[in-house]
Amino acid sequence: MAWSFSSLFLFSFFVFSLVEGKHVLEDGYEVTTVVDGHKSGLNPHTVHALPGSSNMIVLDSSGSTFYTTSFPMSVDSVINRFAGDGSIGYLDGKAGNSRFSKPRGFAVDAKGNVYVADKNNKVIRKISSSGYVTTIAGGISNEFGHRDGPAQNATFSSDFDISFVPQRCCLLVSDHGNEMIRQINLKEEDCLQSSHSNLGTYSLWSIGIALSCFLGVAIGFASRPYIIRHTGRSEPPLVHRDMEASPNQIGGTSSDLLLLH
Ligand SMILES: *[C@@H]1O[C@H](CO)[C@@H](O)[C@H](O)[C@H]1NC(C)=O
């Protein structure tokens, strides 16, 4: 009964979507060509902006090469080779001499490091913001699979991509072949933006101020008894005289006297 009801529901939903299926065309957008691969000799497969700069990184998958260009982009924009020497392979080291095997996707962290889903090489590579290529996962295992654990021993399917999650400082691997999402936590320093270090300086400055305030109060407290004792000894009637000068204080003393009685 329940089954026939749900299939009836699904069927009517199907018919409904066939009948009611329509396209909603929202106006107000425009397309411009800003990089023409025929002119600049590259075939862009993936592009990501570098955080905190006007630069972006373009991956030419078929050429196994990464390029950089910057906003404002136009077909005359200067495009520089960033990593990959143009040959297919697996070579770490200086970005200009490094080799990749037709990677399809990559992610960029908050610091500008690039993480490459180099699936044909069965590894995840890192191009540091200073331009040095390393292997961060799969470097030891060198096989397909779905092993978790220490990243160099881990394995991935032959079809995966990666994205960066700034809030969690990690990479997420969408491991399509394994039908899994895998997580790789990054190092803390890879997620610190320049704005954060400014914040750090600011914090240090505030701590300095707070410390001097505290020291000032502490020194005040430490020297207070001495000062009172000192004035007390040299001029004992000072406090007494002030009390007598004020009528309220005289009242106070009389009530004290009353209390004494
Ligand atoms: C990782 O692989 C290396 C080399 O095969 C091995 O010596 C090591 O025990 C492995 N580590 C783990 C945690 O599997």
DSSP string across 167-182? TTTEEEEEETTTTEEE
Nearest Cα neighbor of 165 from 249, 108, 247 is 108
Report whether 189 contacts 177 (CB < 8 A). no
| Residue type at 130 in one-letter notation | S
What is the pLDDT of the chain when averaged over all its residues?
A: 79
pLDDT in tens, 56-82: 999 999 999 999 998 888 877 889 999
Q: Tell whether ligand 1 has an atom less than 6 A from the beta carbon of residue 237.
A: no
Q: Give the three-state DSSP class for 79.
A: coil
Is 64 among the domain residues? yes
The predicted pLDDT at position 217 comes to 61
The predicted pLDDT at position 158 comes to 95
Pocket test for ligand 1, best of 140, 147, 155 (most atoms within 8 A of CB): 140
CATH number of the domain at 97, please: 2.120.10.30
pLDDT (average), residues 28-57: 90
Is 24 among the domain residues? no
Report whether 127 contacts 133 (CB < 8 A). yes
What are the angstrom distances between the C-alpha of 185 and each of 62, 94, 173?
29, 24, 11
Q: How far apart, in whole angstroms, are the C-alpha atoms of residue 36 and residue 120?
A: 27
Report whether 101 contacts 63 (CB < 8 A). no
Is 99 among the domain residues? yes
Q: How far apart, in whole angstroms, are the C-alpha atoms of residue 100 and residue 258?
A: 97
Task: Write b or e for each residue in 89-114: b if 16 or more Cβ atoms lie within 10 A of its Cβ, otherwise e.
Answer: ebebeebeebbbbbbbbbbbbbbbbb
Domain extent for 75: 37-190
Which pLDDT band, with edges at 50, 70 and 90, does 108 fall under? Answer: very high
Is 124 among the domain residues? yes
Which pLDDT band, with edges at 50, 70 and 90, does 189 fall under? Answer: confident
Is 228 among the domain residues? no
Provide φ and ψ at 193, rounded to 5°: -85, 170
Is 229 among the domain residues? no
**Domains held by the chain: number:** 1
pTM over the 0.85 mark: no
Q: How far apart, in whole angstroms, are the C-alpha atoms of residue 125 and residue 53?
A: 22
Q: Tell whether ligand 1 has an atom less than 6 A from the beta carbon of residue 150.
A: yes
Task: Please give the DSSP secondary-structure letter assigned to residue 131.
Answer: S
Q: Name the token pair of 121.
A: 């090489």
Q: Whose CA is nearest to atom 2 of ligand 1?
A: 153
pLDDT of residue 198 exceeding 70, the answer is: no
Provide φ and ψ at 202, rounded to 5°: -60, -45
Is 90 among the domain residues? yes
Is 199 among the domain residues? no
Q: Tell whether ligand 1 has an atom less than 6 A from the beta carbon of residue 153.
A: yes
Task: Please give the DSSP secondary-structure letter assigned to residue 1.
Answer: -
Pocket test for ligand 1, best of 142, 148, 153 (most atoms within 8 A of CB): 153
pLDDT of residue 192 exceeding 70, the answer is: yes
114-118 and 105-108: which strand pairing?
Answer: antiparallel
Q: Tell whether ligand 1 has an atom less than 6 A from the beta carbon of residue 41.
A: no
